[in-house]
Structure 1
């Protein structure tokens, strides 16, 4: 039984002239041409379903919705990246032929940004990780304070290791940190982090400090400031003890902080300020994680998903 052939893309989208351009002016192979044709034809089908009569009607929002559809269909980031390349080549051709006046593909995100986002811990996983330090261990209060502070503040690991005693304002529930470009910002910290820090500063840090701490908050067993590698090793040990199978780096705690705030309804600009991002576009990457979470919840729990 033969399948019903898909309708040809509308002539108004100028796919055939575009393919001729690739074939005769750029000399692409037939196999490559097939890939470009497939990518653009699928986008055209999607655009037509949204009522777009021609390429001049296609907006950046249309293309973003289309790429999210590809992601939901399970396409690998490499395949989505190829689609982005195909669409940009297509719209550049249309502009060169004066068939459209603007390029909606200029401002679409590439999957590189999606791939760079590491795993995000769930709230339950984060709570389990924080509760992992064995309080009978001599450095347990330090480790618990470090985990609580990292999750409460969303600081970079470099900001955590550079944190000074004078930068803690526990009575006001804030800490001042120095981020990229030596820019200082205030980050709020919650009561649980304040409690863990208070215990560590009272019970453990005085015992560790042997005059070479440089005023840093978090110290290693020899009394020196914790390094980024030291933080990573401590974190890895507690991740293994918690039975968490995801690959967790200090940056995952930062991503989890941002994602959980957005999932809870936090304002994007407020999250940008807390993370110390100069460009809100950097913060908007976390909305991709949040959207994936929402799709997952919908598919898992909606009776007709």
Structure 2
């Protein structure tokens, strides 16, 4: 099998990662995330149709009637529709939605129209951010105990790298960021960590078995040995995600985007961030050898 010189290209990869990170941080700072209704609050309108409607047709009718920043989904039964609008609540907003959707003679009953306050969105944002920090802290503790603190530091940098890039791209292109996207990013953390652990296991094993101290060569060997597994896992996962992207509908469109970007970033970072940074941190064979305990026996004087 052909052996690829991954570590020989690590400086180029570092430049690419740094540029992507800078662009992502700048986008987050200057443009901010386009937060969805889950975080900002808005108006919720529940409708009952006489027959099962097409969600895409409802979205087109709302858009042509001047509504923007809305979400349409079924609510329980297929003829129960929930419309969420990112706008200030008014007493006749429910009737406006019904009028926009019943223009072709469709029979629609208004069940309720109410406002979801931004306070709920603030709580969701704070709790989700805390959850992400707890996940990263748990990863750091796990990797530090299983491997060594240099591995833990590089793994955390790799995970932060992946999350920042995905968030930055969502800010740059102003894709809507809601709870489904947040769930996708949390899944990316788990996926990226799993890929990193596989590479780390083989690196540690090769260091212990190898009789040379050329770390780039050892890393290249370890990454090439796990390459087939990485490509198979990433490839099959991406096939499913592209199917969700094209066929899954509007509700999980951004969710699939977050996972596609995250898996690409995670696969890249497992090699060129998590592994390559070990060379920057000067990982040595001695770091993986536990310190020997010296038993000093004192002789008793007669």
Structure 2-normalised TM-score? 0.27
Structure 1-normalised TM-score? 0.27
Q: Whose RCO is larger (CA < 8 A, sep 6+)?
A: 2
By percentage of residues, which structure has more strand?
A: 2
